[in-house]
Structure 1
Amino acid sequence: MATEHPESKRKGGGGKLSRSETVTVRLDPKLRYLAELAARKQRRTVSSFIEWAVEQSFRDVTIYHGSGYNGDDNITIEQDAAELWDVDDAERFVRLAIKYPDLLTHDEQILWKVLLDSELLEPARFRTASGKIGWRWDVLEDYIFPALRQEWGSLNQFVADGKAQEWAMLTRKAIKEGRVYPRTPPSLKVTQADDTEDIPF
């Protein structure tokens, strides 16, 4: 690991693999009663019905509002679910930060800023002819994410301890010394297609 911290070994890079998580939901009496009736009608438990209802609602929540021109259409959470979800915490975070930075919490914005400052993602980042920031997803998936998973625990611990910039500095140093990912990066030649497929940030 490029940047070790005394507590980092206790925080692995992988995501939680539990089948489901318990969430406490408060319903007013009317909503609770109607939910019970709906659950009976579908022969479900109330908790199963609520889980189903939440999943169904994803098709009605627009996560991206397109311009309506040249295929730039609205996107719902249901449509983008496969792109946003990953069992690994680190990869899931980067996917959200790249695609929908406006949805990051304040703490997540700090984490993203530190990650960018560390240059860990730099091999996959490019600027298009129009000046926008784009990302090579093949490089992210094959080259960056494996390295990020190894560093994720230490990154979070350093940030929690108020040592974010120290982590960024140590990571930049480790990258230069070839201790983070392979010394020879993949080709970063940007094709003309990349300019139309970039994701603005």
Structure 2
Amino acid sequence: MARPTAKAAKTEMLTIRLDPKTRFLLDYVARLNGQTITTVVERAIMAAASNNPIPGEDTYEPDTTWQDIWHVSEGVRKLRVARIPELYPTYEEERQLAFAKEHWPFFFEDAQGVSIISAYVDVLWPRIDEFVQMHEEGRSKDYFAAGAAMQKALGEAKLKVPEWPVKAKSDPKREPGNFSRDLDDDIPF
């Protein structure tokens, strides 16, 4: 019985211009370490990235590195990158993040957008531009249409569909005869 062949990992092609000296140095390091040129470049990039943390801010952990942002899901990576101004998110990334925050039940555990729901993102992200466009073009007629389309996509993937639109939580009603008050009720301003 034949075994199924494993799928090759996705790779990207990078073309760079090097002067003859730099090209020689790259070949020298590869030969010296018994590595391919690709391995030398990959490890150099990894070392450079590991040695360049993002200075801590209030919006994320101190000394965030690429390991804190990396995720196998492209959508999760994009959402994480878009939240960090020091990584210079593009207009498109900021637009996608704004959409995700507005439609937070489809992307995040809560409205603060701290914890990403990767299963939802894996299903929705390949169509994110379609959903964003649907929302931007149709919100004057049906503000919740993009959310309904995302609910359908998640349902087709057999995932639990989040409630949409999100119902506003009502304040707990006070029972008659219960005279307890909030401390804020006594503040005159």
Provide the TM-score with structure 1 as the length reference: 0.55
Q: Which residue of 1 aligns with 2:79?
A: 94
Which of 68, 71, 74 does residue 63 from structure 2 map onto? 74
Give how far 1:40 is off: 1.5
Give how far 1:114 is off: 1.9
Q: Compared with structure 1, are the counterparts of its residues 52 and 106 closer, same or farther at alpha carbon in structure 2 (3 Å cutoff)?
A: same
1:36 aligns with 2:21: no
Q: Aligned residues: percent identity?
A: 22
Give how far 1:108 is off: 0.8
Give how far 1:51 is off: 1.7
Give the Cα–Cα distance (whole angstroms) in 1 for the partners of residues 43 and 99 of structure 2. 37
Would you say how many aligned residue pairs link Structure 1 and Structure 2?
Answer: 143
Provide the TM-score with structure 2 as the length reference: 0.58
1:115 aligns with 2:100: yes
Give the Cα–Cα distance (whole angstroms) in 2 for the partners of residues 36 and 122 of structure 1. 46
Name the amino acid aligned to 2:124: E
Q: Compared with structure 1, are the counterparts of its residues 59 and 173 closer, same or farther at alpha carbon in structure 2 (3 Å cutoff)?
A: closer
Considering Cα pairs closer than 8 Å and 6+ residues apart, tell me whether 1 or 2 has the greater RCO: 1
- Alignment deviations for residues 78-128 of structure 1 (CA, whole Å, 9 cap, x no partner): xxx1x3222222222223334x244221211111122222343465124xx
Give the Cα–Cα distance (whole angstroms) in 2 for the partners of residues 95 and 157 of structure 1. 20
- Alignment deviations for residues 24-67 of structure 1 (CA, whole Å, 9 cap, x no partner): 122122211111111111122222211221122122223x2137
Q: Which residue of 1 aligns with 2:173?
A: none
> Cα RMSD over matched residues?
3.5
More helix per residue: 1
Which of 38, 49, 56 does residue 58 from structure 1 map onto? 49
More strand per residue: 1
Q: Which residue of 2 aligns with 1:171?
A: 146
Give the Cα–Cα distance (whole angstroms) in 1 for the partners of residues 77 and 69 of structure 2. 6
- 8 Å Cα contact 1:90/1:148 also seen in 2: yes
Q: Which residue of 2 aligns with 1:153?
A: 126
Q: Compared with structure 1, are the counterparts of its residues 49 and 176 closer, same or farther at alpha carbon in structure 2 (3 Å cutoff)?
A: closer
Name the amino acid aligned to 1:48: T
Q: Compared with structure 1, are the counterparts of its residues 85 and 42 closer, same or farther at alpha carbon in structure 2 (3 Å cutoff)?
A: same
Q: Which residue of 1 aligns with 2:110?
A: 124
Give the Cα–Cα distance (whole angstroms) in 1 for the partners of residues 150 and 125 of structure 2. 15
* Structure of higher CA gyration radius: 2
1:45 aligns with 2:36: yes
> Aligned ranges for residues 20-35 of structure 1 at < 5 Å?
20-35=11-26
Give the Cα–Cα distance (whole angstroms) in 2 for the partners of residues 48 and 105 of structure 1. 29
Give the Cα–Cα distance (whole angstroms) in 1 for the partners of residues 146 and 25 of structure 2. 54
Name the amino acid aligned to 2:110: A
Q: Which residue of 2 aligns with 1:105?
A: 90
Give the Cα–Cα distance (whole angstroms) in 2 for the partners of residues 153 and 107 of structure 1. 14
